[in-house]
Structure 1
């Protein structure tokens, strides 16, 4: 089940976010390489932001486990609140983009 959900997240992010992996950092490392090499159609900035967000999230998660690891209920509550806040901030940022949205394409999987 985890493999299916990760694959779906990768497929949606590749198709909808313009060639950015959000669940598979190996893909972003490859895309950073393509961006550094100057390959057309690959955003160095988008892949670097995704990789930086992973590193920040891993760091914050490590700090939370070190601080609240013995109290699992508190750790779960704080992690859920942090994820909810992050998703809200992300969706607000996406909704407030300047300019019209590009036309969407439909894909059957």
Structure 2
């Protein structure tokens, strides 16, 4: 329960699988309905049938790509946590060195 409240364990990767299945089912249903409408149409039915097939195939592929892109962010987060835990400083962030500027500190030499 403590991992859940502190957001140490992410729920979204488990939900992504459900979202993927639901989006695949939705694209197949939409594609099938376009095919049925195309077979019942008097004019332009072949276009609807082809569009239905395209929706079925492209919908599944695009939903898979979308879910994989979301999962990439979570994999990056997991790998960053592993690196932070292995760094030997207890997972605390490492301070960046100060940034040096090349501008002159003399205010008379400021040419913008």
Give the TM-score range, shorter chain. Answer: 0.3 to 0.5
Using structure 1 for the length normalisation, give the TM-score: 0.34
Tell which has more relative contact order, 1 or 2 (C-alpha 8 A, sep 6+). Answer: 2
**TM-score, scaled to structure 2:** 0.34
The structure whose Rg is larger is: 2
